Structure 1
C-alpha cells in the first residue's frame, strides 16, 4: 500500500491507461465448460517455451500476479545479467536459428513487393526516379546481371508510371498485402519468444499486420529519402533553396544518426505491435531493439570480413554468389531481430521480478486477445471427446467379438 493505493488499484489504473474502455474485471482466459474432461482453471500466462502446448498450472497466488508491470522497480545489475543469460538460453531453446530461417524466407517473398510499395510512395513525393537510380545498381550487385536484367523492366516501369490514381492505389495495396507476410511471420516468432499462443481472430489480426507493414514502409521511405538526398542531389536542393555548402556538408553527416533512429523505431514497432501480449507501454527505442541493431552491425561487419578474406562463394555458386550472400545476410539480420526480441522479453521478466512479481516461470503480461485460443481449446476438447468415444466403442466391439468367439468354441466342444 502506497499513498492509499493498493496493488489491485495500481494494476487497474495502468491497464485502463492502455485500454481506456477496459471493464473492472477482464478474465485472461475463458476456460471450456467444466463438464469437459480435463478441464482445469487457467493461470495468467500460457506455459513458457511451449506455444500451443498445455496451459501453465503453476499455483502462483493472484495477489502476486496483480502488480502492474508498467512501473516496476529499476532493474539492478544482477537483473541485467539474469536477462542476458536467459535471453541467450531462450534463443537456443526457442530454436532462434530456425525462426530466423523462416523469417528469411518471408523476407525474400516480401522484399520486392515492399520495394514496389516504397517506390510507389516515393512516386507521390516525386523522388521515384532518384531512388530507382540508387536501387538498381544495388540489385545488380546482389542478384547478378542476368537476374537484375529480368526484373529491371518491371521496376523501371514504376519510374514512368503516373504518380497518383487508381492504378497506384491498387498496386500499393497489392504490394502492401504481399509484404505483410513477413510482419505476420514475425508476429508468430515473437509469440513463441513470449511463450504465448495467437489469440487474435484473423479479421482482427490481418488489418493490424497491414497497418504495421504500412507504418514500417513509411519509415523505410523516410530513411530512403534521407539517403537519396545526399551528394549532388543535396547540393542541388541546397542551392535551389538558398542553403550554404556548410549546411549541406553538415546534413551529409547528420543524416546517418537520424537513419539509425528510424531503424531503431522500426524494430521497436515490430517488437511492440506484433506479439499477442499487451506491453506496459510503447518504447520508441527499446533495449532489445538497440541490442538487435548492435548485434546486426557487428555480425554484418564480421560477415563482410569473412567474405573478403576467407569465403569463396563465387567459385562455389558462380553467378548465384550474390544471391546466396544476400540470403545469408538476411538470415543474419533476422537472427539479430529474434535475439533482440528475446532480450526485450527477458528484460520484462527482470522488471517484473524486481517489482516482486512471480515471473520466474512465466512472463506475467496479459494477452491482447484470447478468442482464438478459447476456440482452439474447445475444438481440441471436442476432438478429444470424439476420440475417447471412438476408443470406447472400439474396446466394446473387441470385447463383444471376444465373448462371441469364446461362446462359439465352448458350444463346439
Structure 2
C-alpha cells in the first residue's frame, strides 16, 4: 500500500518542457541533501522496502537457473570453452564454504563420496539434456520478467499510482524490458562485479596475453558503468505507468541507483570476505544467502533511484512533502479515509 502524494505529470504542465537545465536548476534550488531526505520519505511511505524484497527474490530466482542453463547449453552446443569460463567465474565469485555446492550446481559434477579421494563424476552439465537446460533458460526468463513486473508495481506505488497496467500489457512490457534493459544491466554487472575473475578465466582458457588483459582491466569499468546507467535510465523511463519527463531528469535517479548499488555491493563483498561468522553460520548455503542479500540490495538501489527521480519531478510541480496528510494520527491518510 502506498501513502504518498501522486507525482503530477509535468509533461502536462503549461510552460516549457522539462530540460536538462531545468533539472540542474531544481537540484540547486532545493539542494541535494533536501531531495535525498524527501526522496527517502517517498521511498519509505511508498512501501519501497517491501517491493525491493519482492524484486530481489525474483531476481535471485532468475540468476540461478540462468547460470546453470547457460553453462549447460554452451557445453551442449560444443562451446566447452565458454561453459568453462562461466563455471570458473561463478566458482571464483562464490564464498569458499559454498564451493562444492556451487560446483555441483554449475558443472553437474557429483560430490565425491567419503573416502573416494579425487575420484568424482565430472559429467558436463550439457549432458543433462538440452531440453531440460532449455526449460531452465525459459524459467530464468520468466522469473526475470516477473521481477521487472514487480519493479513496475514498486515504481507505481512510489509515484503514487495505485493501479498497474492491465496484466497482458504489464507482463509484455516486463518481458521486453528483460530482453533489453535487463540484458544491458546483466552485462554491466558482469563487467563490474565479475570482471576480474571473468578476465582471469578467459586468460586461462583462451590464453590471453598481458596486453589483452591490460585492455580488459581498463575498458571494463567505464563500459560497465555506462551499461548500468543506460539500463537503469531505461527502466525508470518505461517501467512506471505514467508519462515520464526527459531522460536528463531520470538520469539523476539512475546515477543515484548506480552509486548506491556500487556502495552496497562493495560493503556486502567486504562483509562476506572478511567475516568468518558469515560462512560459519550458513555453511554450504553461504553463496545462496549472499545472492539473496545482493539481490535485495539491487532492488533497494533501483527503487531508491525511482524515489529520487519521482521527488525531483514532484518538487518541480510544487509538491515538496511526499506524504499524504494524516491530521488525526490514526494511521489512515486523510485523502483515502472514507469517513
TM-score computed with the length of structure 1 as normaliser: 0.58
Cα RMSD between the aligned structures? 4.4
Paired with 2:152 and 2:299, the residues of 1 have a C-alpha distance of 13
* SS of residue paired to 2:144: helix
User: What is aligned with 1:85?
Assistant: 37
Q: Which runs of 4+ in 1 moved over 6 A?
A: 120-125, 159-162, 166-170, 235-239
Give structure 2 stretches of 5+ with no counterpart. Answer: 110-122, 324-337
2:199 to 230, 243, 248: 230
Q: Contact (CA 8 Å) 2:95, 2:279: kept in 1 or not?
A: no
1:341 to 295, 301, 306: 306
Q: Contact (CA 8 Å) 1:100, 1:335: kept in 2 or not?
A: yes
**Compared with structure 1, are the counterparts of its residues 310 and 362 closer, same or farther at alpha carbon in structure 2 (3 Å cutoff)?**
closer
User: What is aligned with 1:50?
Assistant: 3
Q: Contact (CA 8 Å) 2:156, 2:164: kept in 1 or not?
A: no
Going by fraction, where is helix more abundant, 1 or 2?
A: 2
Give structure 1 stretches of 5+ with no counterpart. Answer: 1-47, 364-383, 385-413
Deviations 1:277-317 (A, max 9, x none): 22123459822122122122223333444455666233433
**Compared with structure 1, are the counterparts of its residues 305 and 199 closer, same or farther at alpha carbon in structure 2 (3 Å cutoff)?**
closer
Paired with 1:263 and 1:179, the residues of 2 have a C-alpha distance of 17
Residue 321 of structure 1: how far off its partner (Å): 3.6
Q: Contact (CA 8 Å) 2:69, 2:136: kept in 1 or not?
A: yes
User: What is aligned with 1:395?
Assistant: none
Deviations 1:136-189 (A, max 9, x none): 443574855246525642995348877xxx998766444322321111111111
Residue 342 of structure 1: how far off its partner (Å): 1.0
2:18 to 70, 76, 97: 70
Paired with 2:248 and 2:264, the residues of 1 have a C-alpha distance of 25
Paired with 1:142 and 1:286, the residues of 2 have a C-alpha distance of 39
Paired with 2:181 and 2:173, the residues of 1 have a C-alpha distance of 12
**Compared with structure 1, are the counterparts of its residues 332 and 222 closer, same or farther at alpha carbon in structure 2 (3 Å cutoff)?**
closer
Residue 119 of structure 1: how far off its partner (Å): 5.3
Which shifted more, 179-188 or 72-81? 72-81
User: What is aligned with 1:406?
Assistant: none
User: What is aligned with 1:130?
Assistant: 85
* SS of residue paired to 1:344: helix
Number of equivalent positions:
299
Q: Contact (CA 8 Å) 2:3, 2:46: kept in 1 or not?
A: no
**Compared with structure 1, are the counterparts of its residues 197 and 263 closer, same or farther at alpha carbon in structure 2 (3 Å cutoff)?**
same
User: What is aligned with 1:264?
Assistant: 229
Paired with 2:302 and 2:18, the residues of 1 have a C-alpha distance of 23
TM-score computed with the length of structure 2 as normaliser: 0.69
Paired with 1:348 and 1:187, the residues of 2 have a C-alpha distance of 18
User: What is aligned with 2:293?
Assistant: 328
Residue 195 of structure 1: how far off its partner (Å): 0.9
* SS of residue paired to 2:31: helix
Residue 286 (str. 1) matches residue 286 (str. 2): no
2:104 to 139, 145, 149: 149
User: What is aligned with 1:28?
Assistant: none
Paired with 1:167 and 1:315, the residues of 2 have a C-alpha distance of 34
Paired with 1:306 and 1:245, the residues of 2 have a C-alpha distance of 31
Paired with 1:128 and 1:150, the residues of 2 have a C-alpha distance of 13
Q: Contact (CA 8 Å) 1:140, 1:148: kept in 2 or not?
A: no
Q: Contact (CA 8 Å) 1:118, 1:220: kept in 2 or not?
A: no
User: What is aligned with 2:54?
Assistant: 102
